[in-house]
A and B are shown apart, each in its own frame.
Chain A
Amino acid sequence: MEQYDVIVVGAGVVGSGVARELARRKGRFLVVERAPDVCEGTSKANSAIIHAGFDAEPGTMKAKMNVKGNRMMDQLSEELDIPFKRVGAFVVCFAKEELPKLQELYDRGVKNGVTGMRLLTGEEARALEPNLSEEVEGALLAETSGIVCPFELTLGMAESASKNGVEFSFDTEVTGLERQGEDWVLHTSKGDLEARAVVNAAGVYADWLHNLVCEKKLHITPRRGEYCLLDRTAGGHVSRTVFQLPGKYGKGVLVSPTVHGNLLLGPTAKDIEEKEDTATTAAGLAEVLEKSALGVKNIPARQVITSFSGLRAHEDGDDFVLGESAPGFFDAAGIESPGLTSAPAIGEYLAELIGEKLGLPENPDFDPIRKGVPKLKEMEPEQRAEMIRENPAYGQIVCRCEEVSQGEILDAIHGILGAKTLDGVKRRTRAGMGRCQAGFCSPRVMDLLSKELGLDLTQVRKSGNQAQIVLEKTRGEDQA
């Protein structure tokens, strides 16, 4: 049986954050993930916001991790070569009677240690953000709020961890966990593994894993949120994230630019039973469009290029469950919003606890720098020309909507934690994320995956194991 100091269950943003922070210490670490790639669950489908931290109740884990995670983000984006923009955010309200609630948020933010907040009148807010609705009566401006690419944040931390020695095992589903003496035995679809400590970063399944070994039970409800994503041409419709204060029109939805220049609307919030149900619904998508129009006017709804839904892991206690819940069993459970913002701070917090518990010495060779796939489209012409001279594959465009070159796709496939699926390439390079939604590039990306990974085209998958894209060969020399 393979033995590790720490096994992290789940390669979402939290598991990856913990893994990277563990890598600052010496030891043998493993991340197990049931999906074929990082960021396949809750982490991939959310609002992509780095929250300022005025939302959570002072004193909660949510408040602490949020504010700390927000402050870590500039350095992290630099070290991991990932996009992050501190664009700021508005919380808007639509009635005079609701103004005290904005004040409450402001006060709560101050208590949580948030800086850069201001209360504005509707006019003042509209002067800064001209597409705010005329109905906006007042707004809280939070300058430290930002936007990030959730996938790149997760991949960046995971690749940084991998580069510093953390092992990853994908397509590995955890089926059980048992205490054996001082250690844990983790049963997985790929066999048993032994560890001195286990980190539970299993997302919507974290209650299941926790309840296997802990006295005090958890209960996680998957809360589904639906979103619409608009074309780049709509990306400049607002320059900051616009939240709605819960109130007059119920719990609102946000309108936000994304780091890639699109416009994002959502989410709805619906508690569901099934832990995998990420289907969108007609009612949900209609609600997104209707509610987003309350805070921001003239949203070009015809520019929607895709819609999706994600699940938030809501725990009954309404706070993050962080820490050692059984000897050597560390929870990172119930990580709903602001989980994306908090992930790096959660990583630091848990790695510290685990390091102390196991007596892990510092890793003097830790290298915080990780390079992502270059983005030729965003380069100045001279730099782009130079890159193509060095590697002509950067001159061969594969995805025309997002202008992604063959070189970038090859980099993604051969990266530290390389892409193995169409979705894996898409999330690393944006090939297929544009306005044609992979119509043109998917056969070409499939060809590249098949050649580079030595797969037959019928073995190339969209994401999961059953997500075959073409089913059989119809003709050609191989045909019997």
Chain B
Amino acid sequence: MKHDIVIIGGGPAGLAAAEAARESGAQDVLILEREPELGGILNQCIHSGFGLHTFKEELTGPEYAARFIEKAEQLEIPHWLSTTVVDLSRQGDSLFVTCVSRERGLQVVEAGAVVLAMGCRERPRGALNIPGTRPAGIFSAGTAQRLVNLEGYLPGREVVILGSGDIGLIMARRMTLEGAKVKCVAELMPYSGGLKRNIVQCLDDYGIPLKLSHTVIDIQGKERVTGVTIAQVDEHMKPIPGTEEQIPCDTLLLSVGLIPENELSKAVGVELSPVTNGPKVNESLETSIPGVFACGNVLHVHDLVDYVSEEAEQAGRHAAAFVAAGGREQAAEELPVKPEGAARYTVPVTISPQRMEDQVVIRFRVGRNIRKGVVKVYADDKLLYSRKRPVMAPGEMEQVVFQKAWLAGGETVIRVVAEEEEAQ
């Protein structure tokens, strides 16, 4: 069995990629989705705030997903549901996707191109090595969200949340609305990893304290959580003796980071960035393996789904072009894109002046809070772009629309700099 383009994942990234590929002329697109429905994690995000950029209106997660699902149905894009991809491999120039499902058993699908759109997973307790007992009542925020929103069950009544990622903030509000008491949100860093609007709308509006530079240093309870101990941390993130505070609670929610889910990417040999934990991609969102594209949270964790959709459309278009051209267009030059100053990474990591379209969106995040900042783009030492940013925060993605017209030829590196204005 062969398909021109196989999209792994039917969440917001996979759907937008599939639709863009189809609209760019690819006829034979197949979506593989492990859940029984399309839509991915949006299905459990019943709060509003999605789609402000894409649709200029405030939608819930399922509503946002529905727009893309309806379109996929209009375009009659085939999708296999409840189908889990268990291997991705390459023999010569051919790509093979191995998947299993109840309906079709084990299938090996040959693909002209593959779009990776598997999303991300939450970091678990173990990754933080939080000491204490191992009782029931410790959930990652997304798991609790599923239990509340999809299953209709309350995972706890007295809650402490560790980590101020967006899901943690959203769940602070959700648990409060369901009648639970959220005692505090502790955040290891001196700043929140979530969107400003979520801190205001989910914590401040409900009087839930956000304790920055705090972490959980002990968990109590044999069978079910009975309490946690939090403490303030110093600049090396080590707990400060004497600042311990024991908080009785029956539940600990963890919102301590998201990890792009790249086990399949690793299986096929895609090169990953140690900063984003996602594939290194070029201007076409193509990975180190020709014909394998990536978009959405598997590539780098996004703040807004609108940007996932936008990025995925590009990946879908480029995958269609790859299949139509019968391979990757050779380019004489690949300019590395380097993050500098507070910029932690860039997507993409290379831009080919020959291959690039008129514009390429460069996305990145900063590693610290910046007030009165500026983003500059240089080709070598030549300033191509400079724009003030009043505020930049680690929880929010930044972007620069890079113009082909900026390049005169002969450049060796593109530098993306984020810093304070006075730094210059």
Residues of A participating in the B interface, judged by any CB pair closer than 8 Å: 228-229, 233, 276, 278-282, 284-285, 304-308, 376-377, 381, 384-385, 388-389, 392-397, 400-401, 403, 405-406, 435-440, 442-443, 447, 457-458, 461-476
Determine if B125 and A306 form an interchain contact, defined as CB atoms under 8 angstroms apart.
yes
Bound CA–CA A278/B103 (angstroms):
44
* Sample of 14 further A-B pairs with CB below 8 A, known A279-B131, A306-B125, A457-B151: A305-B124, A395-B102, A435-B124, A436-B121, A436-B140, A439-B142, A443-B146, A447-B151, A464-B222, A465-B223, A470-B147, A471-B250, A474-B178, A476-B152
Determine if A475 and B152 form an interchain contact, defined as CB atoms under 8 angstroms apart.
yes
Bound CA–CA A375/B152 (angstroms):
32
Determine if B100 and A388 form an interchain contact, defined as CB atoms under 8 angstroms apart.
yes
Decide yes or no whether B391 CB sits under 8 A from chain A.
no
Partner of B135, one of A406, A462, A472: A462
Majority DSSP secondary structure for residues of B touching A: mixed
**Which of B64-72, B154-162, B331-339, B379-387 faces chain A?**
B154-162
Bound CA–CA A116/B188 (angstroms):
50
**B141-183: contact bitstring with A at CB < 8 Å (1 yes, 0 no)?**
0110011101111111100000000000000000000110000
Closest Cβ of chain A: how far from B14's Cβ, in Å?
15
**B372-411: contact bitstring with A at CB < 8 Å (1 yes, 0 no)?**
0000000000000000000000000000000000000000
**A467 and B131 contact, Cβ closer than 8 Å, known pairs A306-B126, A439-B124:** no
Decide yes or no whether B224 CB sits under 8 A from chain A.
yes
Bound CA–CA A312/B135 (angstroms):
20
Closest Cβ of chain B: how far from A48's Cβ, in Å?
17
Number of interface residues of B (CB under 8 A): 54
Decide yes or no whether B129 CB sits under 8 A from chain A.
yes
List A contacts of B154 (CB < 8 A). 470-474
Bound CA–CA A367/B84 (angstroms):
38
Decide yes or no whether B324 CB sits under 8 A from chain A.
no
Partner of B126, one of A229, A388, A462: A229
Decide yes or no whether B243 CB sits under 8 A from chain A.
no
List A contacts of B239 (CB < 8 A). 282
List B contacts of A388 (CB < 8 A). 100, 102, 105-106
**A457 and B100 contact, Cβ closer than 8 Å, known pairs A440-B121, A467-B223:** no
Determine if A304 and B127 form an interchain contact, defined as CB atoms under 8 angstroms apart.
yes
Partner of A461, one of B136, B147, B151, B218: B136
Decide yes or no whether B237 CB sits under 8 A from chain A.
no
List A contacts of B125 (CB < 8 A). 306, 437
Determine if A468 and B152 form an interchain contact, defined as CB atoms under 8 angstroms apart.
no
Bound CA–CA A470/B132 (angstroms):
21
Interface residues of B in 49-90 (CB under 8 A from A): 82, 84, 86
Bound CA–CA A473/B148 (angstroms):
9
Bound CA–CA A195/B153 (angstroms):
45
List B contacts of A476 (CB < 8 A). 152
Partner of B153, one of A229, A406, A457, A465: A457
**A400 and B223 contact, Cβ closer than 8 Å, known pairs A228-B129, A307-B129:** no
Determine if B133 and A279 form an interchain contact, defined as CB atoms under 8 angstroms apart.
yes
Question: Can you list 24 A-B pairs with a CB-CB distance of less than 8 A?
Answer: A304-B126, A305-B127, A306-B125, A307-B129, A307-B131, A395-B103, A395-B105, A395-B106, A396-B101, A397-B34, A401-B263, A405-B100, A436-B124, A442-B143, A443-B146, A462-B135, A462-B223, A463-B136, A468-B224, A470-B147, A470-B153, A471-B153, A471-B155, A474-B153
Bound CA–CA A358/B98 (angstroms):
58
List B contacts of A285 (CB < 8 A). 129, 131
Decide yes or no whether B200 CB sits under 8 A from chain A.
no
List B contacts of A395 (CB < 8 A). 100-106
Determine if A306 and B124 form an interchain contact, defined as CB atoms under 8 angstroms apart.
yes
Which of A395, A401, A438, A442 lies at the interface centre, i.e. has the most chain B CB atoms within 10 A of its CB? A395
Decide yes or no whether B108 CB sits under 8 A from chain A.
yes
**A472 and B223 contact, Cβ closer than 8 Å, known pairs A384-B106, A385-B106, A395-B106:** no
**A469 and B155 contact, Cβ closer than 8 Å, known pairs A392-B105, A436-B122:** yes
Residue of chain A at shortest CB distance from B132 = A279
Decide yes or no whether B134 CB sits under 8 A from chain A.
yes
Residue of chain B at shortest CB distance from A466 = B223
Determine if A282 and B153 form an interchain contact, defined as CB atoms under 8 angstroms apart.
no
Bound CA–CA A403/B264 (angstroms):
12
Residue of chain A at shortest CB distance from B148 = A474
List B contacts of A468 (CB < 8 A). 136, 224
Closest Cβ of chain A: how far from B120's Cβ, in Å?
10
**A284 and B131 contact, Cβ closer than 8 Å, known pairs A462-B136, A464-B222, A471-B154:** yes
List A contacts of B266 (CB < 8 A). 233
Residue of chain B at shortest CB distance from A376 = B100
